[in-house]
């Protein structure tokens, strides 16, 4: 018997599709939401519409809403269930648990009608003829109101894996019907205003993908924390995907940039190794369907996906998003589950539904959380100490700050102790915890990644969460006042006490447009997607030093000469950091490319000016293995830094790694909006040497649109601007160093700090000369130093001189835009001057 026969049986025995008890997945689509629910309709839609484009979806069948309603009607269950749930207070956890259990028991004690059991048997037999006797299937619940674009029913009903044989399948289907009345489903529907009996339950039965022998995970076609729509986030772990959804493992994470991926490039922006401690597998010969096993250490230290697999999944995410966006006529970011078959080595999509959190947020309001500075705190408050040490750290979910007394709960039997406004601290959550999660001020878990249950629900509820902390439930104590901070990038931190912070909301409507470009200074790639939401014209300064010091941590020459390292402690740490890399130098290239690529992607296609490394020798020496390769200088501030290092025999190999990373960003990731900038270039001859050195590594000025700027921060850059303009494509004034060298003072010295002033007439004259010279030579010139961020009057001075762009620290961008607009209204400067 073929699969098609099972569909004919279902339809002909019940006359119409609407009356059918079972339909093949390939015969349903999004027009059949009322028949088979969102999950099954989506699977059928993808089988029909996306298979030809290479998207693999396992085949199977679905019971229909008619089957569920017949079951309820024949046994007269609706009236009994309504009576059971009448006057239920879903906020009373004990009452909810008792009535939910009674509702499920009532359904499970009611046998399936013979006609329904027969239809399921017929369809399952067709699958067995195709895949083998007692073939293994996944049995998933699909409510007819789920996966709506503005309401997520994810995780409300049950899924059963590795179901083999008809008796087990019928039992699993029966349990799916009962799961329409799980505690969390009852609570969720009542809070969302859905009538319990306006919904029906469809059961999807798919051939199992043997990911227990390989890998699986979740991916989103949007960044889940910031709402950045041009990135696909993929998580992966070993074994069946339930461990990721449940938050039982900390998975690998991969970030891919969609626009240049569609152009044929390979823009993997980030790869983060998860611990992946356990995997869920079939319980072969045991008394359970599945079991969890420890993952060997050697596998935990590897990425669960290869780069080609990451790119394939990201392409599928794009195809799925595009299909649903076109179908609905509006951008529709997607939440997708995938699995890899360990036997065939093929990738599959096993679920896809609209993302319902970031995609629903208002796009015209910028909300930011910041700590109060000393002096801003009200009486009785304290500001965050500069070196406050967090109690625990983990993966930040959201960009908020929350606080309250901690409540450590390690089991469902304790959830009645939870009080509104407390911080929920636990090992991990599952859907049974949702009735108390909505009353929490924040959530902190030991386990889980950014796509686990706790993370998904926290986003939906609009509260901060930190997942994968490892030891939060042991460190934090019930009743302890804590602050849960997720506003500082990807690392979330829990601090002791209720630390004061401020929430700022800025409406982005009607901001003035300026002739002068307003750019952003940025160092931390983890903040790039959030900062890109600030109205801007691009990035005027990317500081590579942040990525090198924080993400890489290793001196480039220590990687190139690893075997000759004399510091045993540093050597051991470097070996640990580079364990997953075949060649240690690739570690530097990969991490630096990912850091710069993330920033370039966040602002694409706007210009992103990347300043090549400008560590001083004492700063380089602090990197792992660095002391062996760095000189001891009396005044590193005006010593061996910037351009002088790049062509030197003592460092040019290290600079080569930097060039290789930048070439990867531009050529492999396709992020040609990156402009490179040379710092501390003392003479035109030195500039030509650097340009030549870059060319040796494939960074050829003018090729593939490559522009190279120079920092204007040494007086010689100003005095010989006409000569530098023959070498470089543009200038960026570094007001900090230009002030230092114009006034002849060491800005690291506290003894002369009171003399440091970018507004000094001598400094302003240098700036004025630089702008005039660049204009005369037809070169662009901007400023990326600190002065415009601190002094509105300096902004007006720059505008009056006709500067092309002003790059500011993120917290000064909006106020500077207003200052620039005011200055342009007062200035006599015009674009033709």
* Catalytic positions, written as ranges: 453, 784
C-alpha to C-alpha distance for 722 and 728, rounded to whole angstroms: 10
Q: Facing residues of 272 across strands?
A: 253
Beta strands in 552-673 (DSSP E): 608-611
- Estimate the share of the chain in helix, then strand, then coil, as percent rounded to the nearest 5: 45, 20, 35
For 236, the token pair is 């992966």
> Which two structure tokens, joined as six digits, stand for 163?
């179901």
Torsion of CA 607, 612, 616, 620, to 10 degrees: 120
Nearest to 349 by CA among 361, 360, 337, 358: 337
Q: Which of 600, 611, 607 is nearest to 668 (CA)?
A: 600
Q: Which two tokens stand for residue 762?
A: 């001598």
DSSP character for 664? I
- Residue 31: closest CA among 328, 349, 316: 328
CA distance 199 to 192: 13
- For 402-445, the DSSP string reads EEEEEEE--SGGGGGG--TTPEEEES---GGGHHHHTT-SEEEE
Helix ranges, 615-714 (H):
617-621, 643-646, 652-663, 684-696
163 C-beta neighbours (distance < 10 Å), count: 23
> Are 774 and 721 in contact, with CB atoms under 8 Å apart?
yes
Chain centroid to Cα 440, Å, comes to 23
In terms of C-beta density within 10 A (0-12 exposed, 13-18 middle, 19 or more buried), how is residue 200 classed?
Answer: buried
Cis peptide bond N-terminal to 605, omega within 30: yes
H or E segment and range at residue 676? strand 674-678
């Amino acid at each position: 018997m073929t699969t098609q026969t099972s569909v004919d049986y279902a339809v002909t025995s019940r006359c119409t599709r609407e009356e059918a008890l079972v339909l093949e997945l390939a015969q349903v689509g999004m027009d059949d939401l009322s028949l088979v629910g969102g999950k099954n309709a989506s699977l059928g839609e993808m089988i029909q519409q996306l298979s030809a484009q290479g998207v693999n979806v396992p085949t199977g069948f679905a019971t229909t809403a008619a089957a569920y309603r017949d079951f309820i009607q024949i046994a007269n269950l609706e009236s009994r269930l309504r009576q059971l749930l009448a006057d239920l207070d879903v906020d009373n956890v004990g009452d909810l648990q008792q009535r939910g259990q009674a509702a499920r028991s009532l359904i499970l004690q009611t046998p399936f009608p013979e006609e329904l059991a027969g239809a399921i048997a017929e369809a399952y037999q067709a699958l067995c003829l195709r895949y083998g006797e007692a073939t293994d299937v996944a049995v998933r619940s699909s409510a007819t109101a789920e996966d709506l674009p503005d309401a997520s029913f994810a995780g409300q009903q049950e899924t059963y894996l590795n179901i083999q044989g008809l008796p087990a399948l019928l039992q699993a289907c029966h349990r799916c019907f009962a799961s329409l009345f799980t505690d969390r489903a009852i609570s969720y529907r009542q809070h969302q205003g859905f009538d319990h009996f306006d919904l029906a339950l469809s059961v999807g039965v798919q051939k199992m993908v043997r990911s227990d022998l390989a890998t699986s995970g979740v991916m989103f076609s949007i960044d889940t924390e910031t709402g950045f729509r041009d990135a696909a986030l993929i998580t992966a772990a070993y074994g069946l995907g339930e461990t990721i959804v449940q938050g039982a493992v900390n998975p690998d994470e991969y970030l891919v940039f969609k626009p240049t991926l569609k152009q044929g490039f390979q823009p993997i922006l980030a790869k983060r190794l998860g611990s992946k401690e356990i995997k869920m597998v079939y319980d072969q010969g045991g008394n359970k369907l599945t079991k969890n096993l420890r993952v060997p250490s050697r596998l935990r230290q590897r990425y669960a996906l290869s780069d080609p697999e990451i790119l394939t999944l990201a392409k599928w995410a794009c195809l799925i998003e595009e299909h649903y966006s076109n179908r609905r006529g509006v951008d529709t970011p997607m939440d997708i589950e995938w699995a890899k078959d360990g036997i065939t080595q093929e990738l599959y999509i096993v679920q896809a539904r609209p993302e319902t959190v970031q995609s629903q947020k208002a796009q015209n309001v910028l909300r930011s959380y910041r700590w109060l500075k000393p002096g801003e705190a009200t009486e009785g408050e304290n500001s965050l100490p500069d070196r406050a040490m967090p109690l625990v750290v983990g993966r930040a979910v959201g960009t908020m700050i929350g606080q309250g007394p901690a409540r450590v709960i390690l089991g469902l039997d304790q959830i009645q102790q939870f009080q509104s406004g407390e911080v929920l601290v636990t090992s991990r959550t599952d859907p049974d915890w949702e009735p108390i999660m909505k009353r929490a001020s924040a959530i902190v878990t030991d386990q889980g990644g950014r796509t686990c249950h706790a993370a998904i629900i926290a986003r939906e509820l609009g509260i901060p969460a930190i997942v994968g902390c490892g030891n939060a439930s042991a460190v934090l104590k019930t009743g302890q006042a804590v602050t849960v901070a997720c506003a500082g990038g990807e690392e979330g931190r829990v601090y002791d006490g209720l630390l004061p912070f401020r929430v700022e909301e800025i409406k982005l409507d009607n901001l003035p447009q300026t002739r002068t470009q307003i750019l952003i200074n940025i160092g931390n790639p983890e903040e790039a997607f959030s900062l890109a939401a600030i109205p801007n014209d691009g990035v005027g300064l990317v500081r590579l030093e942040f990525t090198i010091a924080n993400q890489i941590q290793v001196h480039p020459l220590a990687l190139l000469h690893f075997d000759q390292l004399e510091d045993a402690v540093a050597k051991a740490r470097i070996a640990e950091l580079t364990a997953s890399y075949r060649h240690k130098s690739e570690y530097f290239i990969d991490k630096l490319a990912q850091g710069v690529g993330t920033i370039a992607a966040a602002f694409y296609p706007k210009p992103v000016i990347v300043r090549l490394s400008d560590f001083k020798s004492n700063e380089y020496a602090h990197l792992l293995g660095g002391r062996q390769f760095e000189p001891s200088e009396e005044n590193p501030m005006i010593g061996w830094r910037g351009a002088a290092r790049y062509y030197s025999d003592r460092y040019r190999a290290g600079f080569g790694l930097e060039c290789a990373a930048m070439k990867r960003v531009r050529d492999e990731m396709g992020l040609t909006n990156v402009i490179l900038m040379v710092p501390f270039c003392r003479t035109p001859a030195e500039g030509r040497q650097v340009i030549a050195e870059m060319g040796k590594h494939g960074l050829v000025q003018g090729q593939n649109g490559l522009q190279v700027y120079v920092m204007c921060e040494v007086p010689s850059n100003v005095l010989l601007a006409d000569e530098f303009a023959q070498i470089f494509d543009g200038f960026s004034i570094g007001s900090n160093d230009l002030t230092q060298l114009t006034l002849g003072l060491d800005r690291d010295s506290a003894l002369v700090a009171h003399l440091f002033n970018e507004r000094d007439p001598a400094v302003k004259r240098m700036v004025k000369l630089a702008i005039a010279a660049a204009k005369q030579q037809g070169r662009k010139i901007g400023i990326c130093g600190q002065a415009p961020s601190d002094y509105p009057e300096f902004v007006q001075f720059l505008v009056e001189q006709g500067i092309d762009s002003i790059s500011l620290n993120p917290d000064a961008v909006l106020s500077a835009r207003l200052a620039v607009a005011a200055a342009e209204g007062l200035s006599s400067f015009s674009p033709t001057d």
